[in-house]
A = this chain, B = another copy of it.
Amino acid sequence: MANDTFLKACRRQPADHTPVWLMRQAGRYMKEYMAIREKHSFLEMCRNPELACEVTLQPIRAFDLDAAIIFADILLPLPGMGIKLEFAKNEGPVIGNPVRTRKDIDAITNINPEKDVPFLMQAIKMVRKELDGKVPLIGFSGAPFTLASYIIEGEGSRNYVHTKKIMYEDPGAWKALMDKIADVVIVYLKAQVEAGAQTLQLFDSWVGCLGPDDFKEFAMPYTKKVIDALKDTVPVINFGTNTGTYLDIVSQAGGDVIGVDWRVRLDTAWKTIGYGHAIQGNLDPVVLFGPVAAIRKRVKEIIDMAGGRPGHIFNLGHGIVLGTPVDNVRAVVDAVHEFSSKK
């Protein structure tokens, strides 16, 4: 591998510089991406290995990033579970048969990656070949709570009323659902490793709607189940959005790396998580809309908060926002390398 700083950081080994990649680094802020997106729907792009490979590589060509992440969507495993994914003309995905009852839960099946998501495995293989050891490739999945809340609500939600109703009214049904989803995520991620993913990230995008005690009882154990099952494969990054008030419980689920959003200071977050985990984060993505001097100042502050300790992976605290200036993405990546270089 030409550049293994990312994998070294996952394992908390010293490296020449702090590695950096950016959540949603393949996306609509790049004109190369939009050129493809204008001709294809988002789901078409996910399901076409050539297109998925191409957009995965676009940010690697454009910026000096230390890792690639496979282009995919967290909802890709759903059809294989018996959940109907529909797209309301150019709107976001909607679920035709949201899960609301014990019967709905019992009907959920595990996936067969070769049959249900073959395009993803093909895309991973193609990207690995194209990268040719330049930087490592990250595979990913939604974490169990986020997938559960999506298939229960059926679409984006403000308050997660249906999800929490099941949790509070029928904890047994909730457990059955989460165990099934955890099993799906395990199969899904193991297939990605088999295809060539060199690190895995769990995205728990929606789990921050839970208070600390609910998180500990209803979400964390299933993330832990997934991470435990992946122990002998590749490094795992455990990332939840808006979980800064209970990072101590997040880290109990495990993960070689804990990802943190921008609502916490990196130094105090790492202390809370424990130095036995690497840490990933945590620049506010909206800082990239500001002037370069302000961006560089904030990058330096985060590098300084990591204190030179091995095991910091620089990232945003959330995905790149639509409209982010490409030159400012470059400024972040280059500033991370400049401020952290040990050479």
Contacts and interface: CB of A to CB of B under 8 A. Distances in A.
A321 interface: yes
Interface in A220-254: 242, 244-246
Contacts of A208: 263
B211 A263 contact: yes
Given A211-B317, A264-B212, A265-B213, A286 B245 contact: no
Given A159-B286, A245-B244, A286-B159, A262 B211 contact: yes
Interface residues of A, number: 34
Contacts of A161: 286, 289, 321, 323
A213 B266 CA distance: 11
A31 interface: no
A291 interface: yes
Contacts of A286: 159-161, 164-165
A287 to B, nearest CB: 7
Interface in A156-170: 159-161, 164-165, 167-169
A294 interface: yes
A46 to B, nearest CB: 23
Contact of A168 (B165, B168, B210, B289): B289
Nearest to A262: B211
A168 B294 CA distance: 7
30 contacts: A159-B286, A161-B286, A161-B289, A161-B321, A164-B284, A164-B286, A165-B286, A165-B289, A167-B290, A168-B289, A168-B291, A168-B294, A169-B290, A208-B263, A210-B263, A211-B262, A211-B264, A211-B265, A211-B284, A211-B317, A212-B263, A212-B264, A213-B265, A214-B284, A242-B242, A242-B263, A244-B244, A245-B245, A245-B263, A245-B264
Interface of A: 159-161, 164-165, 167-169, 208, 210-214, 242, 244-246, 262-265, 284-287, 289-291, 294, 301, 317, 321, 323
